[in-house]
Structure 1
Amino acid sequence: MTEHPAHALPPIEAVIYDCDGTLVDSELLNARGVAEMFEADYGIALDARAIESEFRGGQFEQMIDTLAERHGVVIPDDFTPRYRRQMIDLFYRELQPMPGVRAAIEAIELPRCVASSGPEKKLAAALNATDLARYFGDYVFSAYTIGVWKPEPDLFLTAAAALDVAPERCAVIEDSDAGVIAGHRAGMQVFGYDPHGAIARHPDIALTRFVHFDELPGLIAARHGEHAARD
């Protein structure tokens, strides 16, 4: 479903995938890790699902600062490194790719990459633990590398430049509002993976929603093929 019809868009020539919540089913695991550490460190019980819903797609440090202020605690310097180690271990034990994502990646025969707000080591662990790394090689980009996070467009623009494809000819596959806005700001064609209705309405963005990765190859092919037939 395209929320706001796209007119005269150029053909799609590359696909940029978000990672957490898009390629891999990690968002609730991430939130669970935060909740477990707040319980262990401070005796504060947090709802992992509420954390996931409120902070989906955002910067980790901003989330922790918000939670610390809300609950009146001081976060020690070793909190984030401990969390990162815990999550990498958890990923190798429990992380799964999103249903249908491997088949979708293989069916879409266009240049592709990953562009994620997660740090480099955690991103590598997520892709390796789910055997998705082989689809992307060195074309994996982290906001921590460039120091700019979604909803700013910089990460997606960096990815497009590496692929040597104009931004307007790139499809962005995202599951969060921050990612949708970043893709739009980058001038790209945005596809929202939204199986649980977590993405808000964006009437000013040409957002194409889908609920299962089985749909994505056809959506991309239609956008790519229509223009290819005209050229």
Structure 2
Amino acid sequence: MTDTTDSADTPIAAVIFDCDGTLVDSELLNARGVAELFAADHCLDLDAVAIEREFRGGQFEAMIDTLAARYGVTVAGDFTQRYREHMYGLFARALEPMPGVREAIEAIDLPKCVASSGPEKKLAVALETTDLARYFGEFVFSAYTIGVWKPEPDLFLTAAAALGVAPVHCAVVEDSDAGVEAARRAGMRVFGYDPHGAIGDHPDAALMRFADFHHLPDLLNQKR
């Protein structure tokens, strides 16, 4: 496992994008879907904003287990399947790309990919719905494929290997603490999309925060 901040002084040769909350404005929609199903199944009135804030960037199953234990309910065996179907409908009606992200992608003249904690189908639906899939082709990677989730570095290391770029020369664009930590452990530089100050302190990470995707291409170019 790589665990270094030496990447701060190395040129960037590839960019790895997170999806939820980074490429697409889906985090609150995801939490809304969870709240709606808990309301339907258990008559619980959960706060989607609080769910989004607490579990941002984490593993879905761990979130559901935590909420079920907290409120003393038993989640039905088909909960995840019903949630996914519910989310596809929400995405079709309301999902949007992050402001400026399309222009940023088009302006970044480097190999690019997506590496997300979301399952393969949800990831594909999100990228297709927002017309972002065409920028990445087959270079879209899910934690569900390899069975390891952030903050472990495996997903980012898998993406770097597929791009044929050493981890130290990869930049990760992330919006969550779990993603920043995964990038740190992978020995990659992190560009933290943080318009609302949601990313915490990461003194050991090679982290540069930004709040507007229109600035990302210039930030990356400074490190090439």
TM-score, with structure 2 as normaliser: 0.96
Q: Which residue number corresponds to residue 229 of structure 1?
A: none
Q: Which residue number corresponds to residue 155 of structure 1?
A: 155
Q: Which residue number corresponds to residue 19 of structure 1?
A: 19
Code of the residue aligned with 1:178 in structure 2: it is A
Unaligned runs of 5+ in 2: none
Residues 124/208 of structure 1: CA separation in 2 closer, same or farther (3 Å cut): same
Q: Which residue number corresponds to residue 213 of structure 1?
A: 213
1:108-161 Cα distance to aligned partner (Å, 9 max, x none): 000000000000000000000000000000000000000000000000000000
Q: Which residue number corresponds to residue 127 of structure 1?
A: 127
Q: Number of paired residues?
A: 220
1:8 is displaced (CA, Å) by: 6.1
8 Å CA contact retained: 2:168, 2:189: yes
Superposed CA RMSD: 1.1
8 Å CA contact retained: 2:113, 2:136: yes
Question: Is 1:194 paired with 2:185?
Answer: no
Cα distance in structure 1, aligned partners of 2:73 and 2:7: 50
Cα distance in structure 1, aligned partners of 2:191 and 2:97: 18
Cα distance in structure 2, aligned partners of 1:162 and 1:8: 22
Q: Which residue number corresponds to residue 109 of structure 2?
A: 109
Cα distance in structure 1, aligned partners of 2:159 and 2:42: 39
Pairwise mapping of residues 81-92 of structure 1 onto structure 2 (< 5 A)?
A: 81-92=81-92
1:190-213 Cα distance to aligned partner (Å, 9 max, x none): 110000000001112121000010
Identity score, percent: 73
Unaligned runs of 5+ in 1: 225-231
Cα distance in structure 2, aligned partners of 1:26 and 1:36: 15
Q: Which residue number corresponds to residue 72 of structure 2?
A: 72
8 Å CA contact retained: 2:6, 2:168: no
Cα distance in structure 2, aligned partners of 1:211 and 1:8: 20
